Amino acid sequence: MTEQPIDLTAALARFDELWSPRIVARVNDYDVRVAKVAGEHVWHAHAHTDEFFLVLKGKFRLAVRDDQGERAVDLAPGEIFVVPAGVEHRPAAPDGAEILMFEPTGTSTVGERHDPVPAHVDVTTGHPL
């Protein structure tokens, strides 16, 4: 990994694929990932880890559901949200967005439990930039 500063704008300019996170840094055993997103992802849950989201650009919506039911969490640039381990969630961005995620290295984009994965969703543990 580089020891140079990482320009997130430049990093995001290096790829166009949607729902296909790029690993821009590692922090101990965690990845810092950035992704371009548009439309809906898929309902899924990460059994063993929380998942951190920071919105960099655009409007981002996390649908979440747990024992208390389903709700939508709307996030603007500069806002963060942590989905607790085990909580089902479905990221979405009708008009497109750019996000940063922080999660353990090896974490799958669709978790361990998920609805059928549509073709536009990249099932990955993150790609090198």
Interface residues with Ni ion (CB under 5 A)? 51
Cα first-last separation, the chain: 11
Task: Identify which of residues 9 and 71 has a Cβ nearer to Ni ion in the complex.
Answer: 71
The least distance separating Ni ion from the CB of residue 2, rounded to whole angstroms, comes to: 26
Judged by CB, which is closer to Ni ion: 1, or 36?
Answer: 36
Over its C-alpha atoms, the chain yields an Rg (Å, rounded) of 14
Q: Are 102 and 81 in contact (CB under 8 A)?
A: no
CA-closest candidate to residue 58, choices 94, 101, 86, 33:
94
Backbone angle region of 93, left / alpha / beta, with phi > 0 → left and psi within -120 to 50 → alpha: beta
Shortest distance (Å) from residue 46 CB to Ni ion: 6
Query: Rounded to an integer, what distance in angstroms lies between the CA atom of residue 104 and that of residue 67?
Result: 25
Question: Among 123, 126, 98, 125, which Cα is nearest to 42's?
Answer: 123
**In the complex, minimum distance from the CB of residue 3 to Ni ion, in angstroms, rounded to a whole number:** 29
Pick the closer one to Ni ion by CB: 51 or 98: 51
1 vs 84, which CB is nearer to Ni ion?
84
Instruction: Write down the least CB distance from residue 14 to Ni ion, Å.
Output: 23
Residue, CB closest to Ni ion: 51
